[in-house]
Amino acid sequence: MEPLGDSARRYVSDDVVTEGDFVDEPEAVECFRNAITKTGCFTIYHEVECWYFGNSPFSSPDTGRIDFLLTPTQKLISAGWDAGIVGVEVKKSGHKAGPLLTQMTDYRNAVYRIKNGILVVPSIVCCFPPLSQVKGPLQSVMANNALGCARVKNHDTSFLVDSTNVFACDVSGNVTVKPLKSGVKNGSR
C-alpha cells in the first residue's frame, strides 16, 4: 500500500496535465465545439455565467463562467441518457490538474441561467482535453464529485466519469450511454 504522503505528492504533481497538442484554449474550444456539434446529442451553450452555492461562505468571487453547458437533445434522451446536463471546462494542453479540478468542482456546485431564464445545475462537469493519469486517489475524488474527462479521438466523442464512458458517439453517429453511478452519495462511502 502506498504511503499517504506519496499519494498526496502524486495528486498535486505537475505530471498530471491536460493531454494533446492544443497550443492555446481557443484552439481546444474550437475542436470540442466541432466534435460535440457533430454528435447532434446536445444543445450547446457557450460561456455561461454561474453563481456558486456549494462553496465556503468566505469564498470569493461568488460568480464564474464555464466554457460549455450541454443539455441533452431528444436524440440523446431516446438513446437512454438520464444524466442531465453536462458542464465542460476547456484548457490548452499541458494545463496542470490541480487548479483545473478545483475550478471544475466549483462549477459542479453552481447554478446557471440558460435561455428564457431557466436555472440549471450540471450533473457532470468534464474537462477538455482530458487529463493524463487519472487513477488512485485522484480518480476517487473526481468520481465522488462527478468530475470527468471529455475525449475527442479519431472523430469519436465521449465523456468518461470514474472509468466509465457515460456518453460515446462514434464517427458514424452511433450513440452509447451508460448510467452515471458516481457523484450521487453524501457522507461516508
Q: What are 72's three cell numbers?
A: 441533452
- The pTM for the full model equals 0.86
Strands (E), 35-179: 42-52, 63-72, 86-90, 110-113, 119-120, 124-128, 147-153, 156-161, 164-169, 175-177
Spatial neighbors of 178 by CB under 8 A, at least 6 apart, are: 164, 165, 166
pLDDT band at 159 (very low <50, low <70, confident <90, very high): very high
The answer to whether residues 176 and 139 touch, using CB atoms and an 8 Å cutoff, is: no
Q: Does the structure show a pLDDT above 80 at 6? A: no
pLDDT class of 128 with cuts at 50, 70, 90: very high
Average pLDDT score over the chain: 88
Write out pLDDT tens, residues 52-63.
886 666 666 688
Confidence of residue 178 (pLDDT cuts 50, 70, 90): very high
Could you give the 3-state DSSP secondary structure of residue 77?
Answer: helix
Q: Where are the alpha helices (DSSP H) in the chain?
A: 4-11, 25-39, 74-78, 97-108, 136-144
From residue 170, alpha-carbon distances to 21, 49, 90, 157 in Å are 22, 31, 21, 7
Complete domains list, the chain, with CATH = 4-177 (3.40.1350)
- The model's pLDDT over 65-105, given as tens digits with 9 standing for 90+, comes to 999 999 999 999 999 999 999 999 999 999 999 999 999 99
DSSP secondary structure letter of residue 12: T
The pLDDT value recorded for residue 11 is 47
Judge contact between 70 and 78, C-beta under 8 A: no
